[in-house]
Structure 1
Amino acid sequence: MSIRDIMTRDVQIVGPNESIRKAAQLMDQLNVGVLPVCDGEKLVGMITDRDITVRATSAGMAPDQCKVSEVMTTEPRYCYEDDPVNEVSRLMGGQQIRRVPVVDRDKRLVGIVSLGDLATDAKDERTVESALEQISTPSEPDRT
């Protein structure tokens, strides 16, 4: 089974030059905590509600003046639509990420796959259990 069989299609995106207020409003409307950041059809980053809170709000950045590009994760982990589910599950577990953008071979965004997609649609329960266990392992603080 490949990721295209379980991914979510028709993903909403935000542009890198949009304000973080717009990104937060879109997250609220869609009831999601992450948005792919695309320049045209090309994936250039990911922004999460946590990015907005930790990288912008805690630093006192104004939501209307701060651009998505200032706080997004650049060079996000991604997978190809024809990648096997178990390979993407290992990526998610190893990197402790709950959502992975899915691109075609021209690196255009075609979907997103989440831990929830794996849990509800993947046939191999052990693959899902392993990813969940690794993702849920507490990580070390990124500051000292």
Structure 2
Amino acid sequence: MAQHVRDIMTGGPVTVEPQTSLTAVARLMRDENIGAVLVADHDELRGLVSDRDLVVRALAEGWDPERTTVAGACSDDLVTVTPDDDLDRAVGLMREHAVRRLPVVEGGHPVGMVALADLAMERDPESALGDISVARPNQ
């Protein structure tokens, strides 16, 4: 069983600059088959935007996705972990802050992402969440 975040995190996170349009971010998520993108300014982590953020914070409020930047829709009060943190710490932070994803940072720079699905696959691969996590995405 993995003991550290680095053992299960997805490295090389997809990042965008704060001035990126919501439409561009949505297309990037589609093309990369991901549900969240990190927002970074000069390689410094500034936020995280999920597919849910795009819908609930932006589209549902009537924001123009071509003219609105990701800076307005991203979460900027992030909880992060480092690659050397114990998995139990990551689980505890997800529970405490009710989040599904944690950016992984070293020295303020994003180096990866650990998701609830990653933890499910590590801790209980036979669970429903584990099965869903390895299933092919809907097209």
Aligned to 2:112: 111
State the shift of 1:43 in Å.
0.6
1:1-144 → structure 2 map (5 Å cutoff):
1-104=3-106, 106-122=107-123
Q: Distance in 2 between matches of 1:81 and 1:55?
A: 30
State the shift of 1:61 in Å.
1.1
Identity of aligned residues (%): 35
Q: Distance in 1 between matches of 2:49 and 2:15?
A: 10
Q: TM-score, normalised by structure 1?
A: 0.80
Q: Distance in 1 between matches of 2:86 and 2:29?
A: 29
Q: Secondary structure at the match of 1:45?
A: strand
Structure 1 residues 86-140: Cα deviation after superposition (integer angstroms, max 9, x where no partner): 0111111121111100001x11111000112112234xx5xxx9xx8xxxxxxxx
Q: Distance in 1 between matches of 2:51 and 2:38?
A: 12
Runs of 4+ in 1 over 6 A off after TM superposition: none
Q: Structure 2: where are the runs of 5+ without partners?
A: 130-139
Question: Which stretch of the first structure deviates more once superposed, 16-25 or 70-79?
Answer: 70-79
State the shift of 1:16 in Å.
0.6
RMSD of the TM alignment (CA)? Answer: 1.6
Structure 1 residues 45-73: Cα deviation after superposition (integer angstroms, max 9, x where no partner): 01011111111111211111000001111
Q: Distance in 1 between matches of 2:121 and 2:55?
A: 30
Q: Which amino acid aligns with 1:12?
A: V
Q: Distance in 2 between matches of 1:115 and 1:51?
A: 17
